[in-house]
């Protein structure tokens, strides 16, 4: 049975076993694995969201792809924003009555981020 060297080495690293001898001989390079690492979409998404300036927003914060948009109490609650985003095709969750939680899938790409940013900006500027 044949396994490609990259998969075998990645599995060995994940379970803390030494890389098998045939894989070491095959010219395997970790640079091939690291070059396929996706860009930090969460940081990019958060930075783009923080460029949206509206008086209703108190703070935009996040870690990884989990992002929260906190509104001032006088903005009317997060539920109306979630319903507006749902009408645009973007599902979000309101938490603590004044925070919208955005949790995109881990396989998100730049096109998806741009699509979501357009809709988020539209809804934030409407309300």
Q: What is the pLDDT of residues 104-113, one digit of tens each?
A: 998 888 999 9
Question: Does 114 share its domain with 93?
Answer: yes
Phi, psi values for residue 13, rounded to 5°: -70, -40
Question: Does 112 share its domain with 65?
Answer: yes
Question: Does 59 share its domain with 104?
Answer: yes
Question: Does 9 share its domain with 53?
Answer: no
Q: What is the pLDDT of residues 10-49, one digit of tens each?
A: 544 544 445 444 544 555 555 555 555 567 889 999 999 9
Q: Is the pLDDT of residue 87 over 70?
A: yes
pLDDT for res 6: 52
Domain count, the chain: 2
pLDDT for res 31: 57
Question: Does 12 share its domain with 68?
Answer: no
Q: What letter does residue 95 receive in the DSSP assignment? A: E
User: What is the extent of the structural domain holding 103?
Assistant: 41-126
Q: Supply the CATH number for residue 111's domain.
A: 3.90.1150.10
pLDDT for res 29: 58
Q: Is the pTM of this model over 0.75?
A: no
Question: Does 87 share its domain with 56?
Answer: yes
CB atoms within 10 A of CB 110: 12
**Percent of the chain, pLDDT > 70?**
70
Question: Does 31 share its domain with 46?
Answer: no
Question: Does 75 share its domain with 109?
Answer: yes
What gap in Å lies between CA 58 and CA 22, rounded to an integer?
Answer: 57
């Amino acid at each position: 049975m044949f396994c490609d060297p990259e998969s075998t080495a990645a599995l060995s690293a994940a379970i803390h076993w030494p890389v098998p001898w045939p894989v070491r001989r095959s010219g395997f390079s970790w640079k091939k694995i690291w070059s396929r690492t996706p860009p930090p979409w969460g940081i990019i998404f958060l930075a783009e969201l923080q460029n949206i300036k509206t008086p209703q927003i108190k703070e935009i914060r996040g870690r990884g792809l989990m992002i929260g948009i906190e509104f001032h109490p006088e903005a009317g609650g997060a539920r109306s924003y979630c319903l507006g985003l749902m009408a645009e095709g973007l599902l979000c969750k309101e938490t603590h009555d004044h925070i919208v939680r955005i949790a995109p899938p881990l396989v998100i790409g730049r096109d998806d981020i741009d699509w979501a940013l357009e809709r988020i900006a539209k809804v934030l500027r409407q309300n």
